[in-house]
Structure formats: structure tokens, C-alpha cells
Chain A
Amino acid sequence: MCRRLTTLLAALLLAESAYARPVSYPGGWTLMQRNNGDRSAIHAHYSPTAFDSFGVYIEKNWDEDVTFTGLQYNRLVKRFNGPSSQANIYAKAGIGQADPFGSAGAELAGFVEFAADWETRRWFTEYRLRTADFADNESVHHSARLGVAPYIGDYGDLHTWFMVEVQNHPDGDKPITTTPLIRLFKGVQMIELGYTVEENEWLANWIVRF
């Protein structure tokens, strides 16, 4: 019953930490979802400071038929503030249990992630490296993004970004995939819609901050 609820929750809410900042303002809550066809995940976290956040992370890997449920900690290791730019280095870690369907039971699981980004109001770049051990499903995953804003909006406007994401799964059937996407961002909400060419799958991410 609970396994079904977990799966249903992950499936309904879709997704993981959309590629955006995993740490909010002090006292802020954030709900992040991600779905890219292979994986669906949700991450809800609380930021006690502008440099830390912790919360719950649930991920369903559809290909491997594994569900991860655990706690995640995010740390803004370093921020470089420039006159018209900002760069960040993040470290993330999660620990919990992976529950492969068809197996005898849940097993201890976890992941670590490193992320770095640089952005101006016009340009955005990001790199992420993630390694995970979800029961017998061990994986390494690289991804990079390049984005450009077609116009510079004022505070409170609808902000639009055109981005391209390239992912590398060294052990995957298709080691490299490309996903053009659009990011729409207004107020405390952000959505991303994209299409992964090699997989013929849609990407849908969403973030809201409180």
C-alpha cells in the first residue's frame, strides 16, 4: 500500500529538482519537480540560511524500476558575485532507501552531486555531476546546460529562457542525449518544458518557492 502511495506520489507530482538553485532565501521553502521520461522526482526543502537547505527527496527511475526515498542536504559551497553576474558551486547529498520492485525489500541507498553554474541576466551555463547507488543500480551522470534570454525583463515580469541541455550517461543505451527546452519564470514559480531528441521523451520541470 505504502509502496503504491510512494510511486503514485512520484508519478503524479512528476519530478526532481529542476535545474535551478537548490538553496533558497533564509526561512524559505521550495518545492521542486522534475520529469524527463527516464526519471520522475520531487524534492521539497527548507533553507535555514542562504547557504544550506535540507528536505525530502523521492525519485522514481522508470527504466530501472527503482524508487528512492530519502533525505537530501544541499550546500552552497561558494558564490562569486560579480557586478552583473553570479556563479555558484553546490554540493548535494542524499541518503535513504531504494526499493527495487520485485526485490525482497528496501536497501540503503544514496547519492552525491556536484553542480556549478554561472549566469548573467542574458546568459546561463551549468554543469552537474551526479553519482548514485540505488540498491544494485549504480550510476554516474553528467549534464550541462547553455541558455540565453531573448529579452531582459524587469522584476516581476515573465522571464523567458531558451536552453539546451546535454546529458551523458556513460552506461546508458544512448550515452549522450540532447534536450532543447524553454524556461518560463515569473514571481516565485518556474516551469521548464523540453523534448529529448534521442529518447523521444518530454521534459517537464516545475519549481515554486514559499
Chain B
Amino acid sequence: MTIFKTLGAVAALTLFAQPAFAQDADAMDHSKMDHSEMETMDHSKMKTMDHSDMNMMEGMDHSKMDHSGHDHAAKTSDDSNEIISEGTHTVVAKVNGLVCDFCAQALRKVFKKEDAVETISVDLDAGEVRVFLKDGQILSDDRLAKLIRKSGYSLVDITHENGA
């Protein structure tokens, strides 16, 4: 009977634990924000804007905005590494600690849960993780760094490739 009790206890612990662990402490409550004017914003005069403040815009539908006047591929803000990756961009992250297939699997599992990510590829030889974003989706560098850390590895550097 002991084994069944033990297995039952573990099953119960797991069931209760999963929802709590599934929560993202960084998830924003967008319900309290006013996004009503965002779809019609004109970004044409925003070439010099500081994109570091745009981290809050994760999850919005950026595809409906007018971006004709500025280049999202450009890296901005010298005092912050907060860069927004958008559209059909690919983000290449140099990562330390990638020594085996389990490492690549861990990264795949973590990034797969990220809405903005289409897919990723892992190059163990180069120590690189290539993150392919969905059309119109964005992923901040801070968020990317957090996902790498969550997977158990160390981020060294991020570069952006504009595929569109």
C-alpha cells in the first residue's frame, strides 16, 4: 500500500504544482492599459525614438502600425541593451554552456512556449541559438536573455538579422 500512497502523493503534488510553475512572473496585465490609439499611431517621425521603452509592447499586434518611417532593424539606445526584434527578424544569441543535445532540447522546450517565436535552431559547434520570430511579433533582448537563463545557460551576445 505504501508505494501507492507514495505515487499518489507525488501525483497530487505535481498536479497542484504545475499551474503555479506555469505562471510567468513577468507577464504583464494588459487589461489595465489603454491600447486604443496604438493601431493608428504614425511612427514616421520616430527615427530617434528610444526603443528601450518598448519592452512593454510585447504581445501587441505591431503589424497594424505604420512603420514606414523608421527601421526596426537598427539598434538603438546606447545606455541600454534593450533592443526590439520584430517582423521576420532572426535573432542570433551567442550562448555559453551548450555541450550536448540535452542543452539544445532544453532551449527548444523553453522557446517553444514563447508566443513570438516561430522556431529556433541550435548550433552546438558555434554555441549559437538562432531564434526565428513570427511575422509581426517582437521579442525584447531582456526577454531573450531571460529565456536563455531559464533554460540554464548563459547569454554572451545578441545580434539581429533582418530577414524581410
Contact = CB atoms under 8 A, between A and B. Distances in A.
Interface of A: 2, 5-6, 9, 21, 24-28, 46, 48-51, 54-56, 58, 69-71, 76, 79, 81-86, 96-97, 99, 106, 119-121, 152, 154-156, 159, 185-188, 209
Contacts of A9: 3
Cβ-closest 3 pairs across A and B:
A81-B97, A25-B106, A50-B152
Contact of A120 (B1, B99, B106): B99
Interface of B: 1-4, 6-7, 9-10, 13-14, 17-18, 21-22, 95-106, 109-110, 113, 122, 124-125, 127, 150-154, 156
Given A25-B110, A48-B21, A209-B102, A82 B150 contact: no
Given A2-B2, A2-B4, A6-B3, A56 B101 contact: no
Contacts of B3: 2, 5-6, 9, 58, 69
B22 to A, nearest CB: 8
Given A46-B17, A55-B10, A154-B125, 17 more contacts: A2-B1, A2-B4, A25-B106, A25-B109, A26-B109, A46-B14, A48-B21, A50-B106, A54-B10, A69-B3, A71-B6, A83-B156, A85-B97, A97-B2, A119-B99, A155-B101, A187-B101
A25 B152 contact: yes
A85 B109 contact: no
Contacts of B10: 54-56, 71
B131 to A, nearest CB: 16
Contacts of A156: 101
B105 A188 contact: yes
10 contacts: A24-B106, A27-B109, A48-B17, A50-B106, A69-B3, A85-B99, A106-B2, A152-B125, A154-B124, A159-B101
B97 A82 contact: yes
A170 to B, nearest CB: 31
Nearest to B1: A2
A155 B104 contact: yes
Nearest to A48: B21
B127 to A, nearest CB: 6
Contacts of A58: 3
Contact of A25 (B124, B127, B151): B151
Contacts of B105: 25, 188, 209
- Among A2, A56, A86, chain B packs the most CB atoms within 10 A around the CB of A86
Contacts of A28: 106, 109
Contacts of B98: 86
A188 B103 CA distance: 11
A152 B100 CA distance: 10
Contacts of A84: 99, 127
A188 B154 CA distance: 22
A56 B100 contact: no
Contacts of B104: 155
A155 B122 contact: yes
A10 B1 CA distance: 16
